[in-house]
Amino acid sequence: MSEFKLQVSRRQRSTPYTPRVEALGVSGYSVVNHTILPKGFQRTVEEDYWHLKTHVQLWDVGCQRQVELRGADAARLTQLMTPRDLRNAEIGQCLYAPMIDENGGMLNDPIILKLAEDHYWFSIADADMLLWAKGLATGMALDVRVDEPDVWPLAVQGPRSDDLVARVFGEQVRDIRFFRFERYPFQGHDLVVARSGFSRQGGFEIYVDDFALGTYVWDALWQAGDGLELAPGCPNLIERIEAGLLSYGNEMTRENNPFECGLQRFCQLDGKLEYIGKAALLEIAGKGHDREIRGLLFDGDACPAPQYPWPVTIDSKQVGYVTSAHWSPRFNQNVALAMLDRGYWDESTAISVRSGDGLQRNGVVTALPMEEQ
């Protein structure tokens, strides 16, 4: 992965956890939602991958900013913003929700938290969904307040997450169902604790609702880690690719529709449900979409991460492009996510990848998530 120095300033916001991750030797950041996201500590991405799959990690994901919708029209605006049918959504539910524009182009893929019938948070990927929501609310003169609350998610991820979080918030956290949240007291706050997170290793996201509280929550979890091999961590590129977890801006942009992203099951096309982009989705569904995201496995040495999309070819004809890639110590090959043209996305299709180092590498299309070979 290409690495350069990042200039930190007020504009590239720190989080409540920044002093802690810097004390623990964070090596670099990326920037998400105008906020810094740690990208590594003292281990390699490969070492971090095995640790995440074995133990438990504490992640500063304060960059997962919340867009808060509150008021009489909050539910209406939330539904207008996603093709996912929210009519049966329950309070306490986390809902992965593609958000699209009038052309069906992906704008984001947040987790929606339903806090009350008139109160929602969107835990967003990298784009100012606050401006989209505010623009719609202002343009339609809706009765809804759109804001960014003082909320800074902190993730606990890995197979020992239940043990760690139970030590701080109590044994009852073990009963939280997947993609549900409960509230637990912490120093006078009632914190949202959700069973969710940007890995498939299990875990929680804690929605710390006061910047000044952040280090106390971090420290409580950190100090509870005895015997769990707790380490600071961050979303792991290898694990994310193998798990088929998409990253907005990498795997998809406004140029992609949800079908291309494999998100058909979150698109309600039937019935009277109204949302922005429905007509466009119906048209695309009628014609069929032209490309779709898949996994790739390919040979050769470990290669640098794509700074530009890399061409995927069959007999020198381009049939798609790689959006994210990394060497996998589990598969002993490179793993990648790629957007592949219709006719070339079937599992086991033989392809070539021209990686950023100029080498041509042989590989094969895989389903997502990737299974052990």
- Of 8, 164, 135, 4, nearest in space to 77 by CA: 135
Q: For tokens 């009765």, what's the residue?
A: 143
> Under the criterion CB under 8 A, does residue 275 sit at the interface with a second copy?
no
Q: Distance between CA atoms of 210 and 68, rounded to whole angstroms?
A: 15
Closest CB to a second copy among 347 and 357?
A: 357
Q: Distance between CA atoms of 100 and 268, rounded to whole angstroms?
A: 13
B/e letters for 62-85, b = 16+ CB within 10 Å, e = fewer, are: bbbbbbbbbbebbbbbbbbbbbbb
Judged by CB under 8 A, the number of residues near a second copy is 52
Closest CB to a second copy among 131 and 350?
A: 131
Site string for a second copy, 92-131 (x = CB under 8 A): ---------xx----x------------------xxxx-x
Q: Helix or strand or coil: residue 86?
A: coil
> Under the criterion CB under 8 A, does residue 305 sit at the interface with a second copy?
yes
Site string for a second copy, 229-268 (x = CB under 8 A): ------------------xxxx------------------
Q: Distance between CA atoms of 181 and 170, rounded to whole angstroms?
A: 14
Site string for a second copy, 185-214 (x = CB under 8 A): ------------------------------
> Under the criterion CB under 8 A, does residue 34 sit at the interface with a second copy?
yes
Q: Which amino acid is it at 34?
A: H
Q: Distance between CA atoms of 253 and 104, rounded to whole angstroms?
A: 11
Query: Length of the chain in residues, anyone?
Result: 373
How far is residue 1 CA from its own chain's centroid?
19
CB-based contact 143:71 (threshold 8 Å):
yes
> Under the criterion CB under 8 A, does residue 4 sit at the interface with a second copy?
yes
For residue 41, list its beta bridge partners: none
Site string for a second copy, 129-158 (x = CB under 8 A): x-xxxxxxxxxx------------------
CB-based contact 58:154 (threshold 8 Å):
yes
Give the shortest CB-91-to-a second copy separation in angstroms: 26
Q: Helix or strand or coil: residue 189?
A: strand
How far is residue 164 CA from its own chain's centroid?
22
Site string for a second copy, 307-346 (x = CB under 8 A): xxx-------------xx----------------------
Selected from 17, 29, 152, 204, the binder of a second copy by CB under 8 A is 29
Closest CB to a second copy among 12 and 373?
A: 12
> Under the criterion CB under 8 A, does residue 10 sit at the interface with a second copy?
yes
Burial of 334 (0-12, 13-18, 19+ CB in 10 A): buried
Closest CB to a second copy among 101 and 341?
A: 101
CB-based contact 193:182 (threshold 8 Å):
yes
Q: Distance between CA atoms of 93 and 245, rounded to whole angstroms?
A: 20
From the list 8-16, 214-222, 260-268, 293-301, the region that binds a second copy by CB under 8 A is 8-16
> Under the criterion CB under 8 A, does residue 12 sit at the interface with a second copy?
yes
Q: How far apart are the first and last CA of the chain?
A: 25
Selected from 11, 87, 272, 287, the binder of a second copy by CB under 8 A is 11
> Could you check whether the bond before residue 311 is cis, i.e. omega within 30 degrees of 0?
no
Closest CB to a second copy among 161 and 257?
A: 257
Closest CB to a second copy among 149 and 202?
A: 149
Chain residues binding a second copy by CB under 8 A are 1-12, 14, 18, 26-31, 34, 36, 39, 101-102, 107, 126-129, 131-140, 247-250, 276, 305-309, 323-324
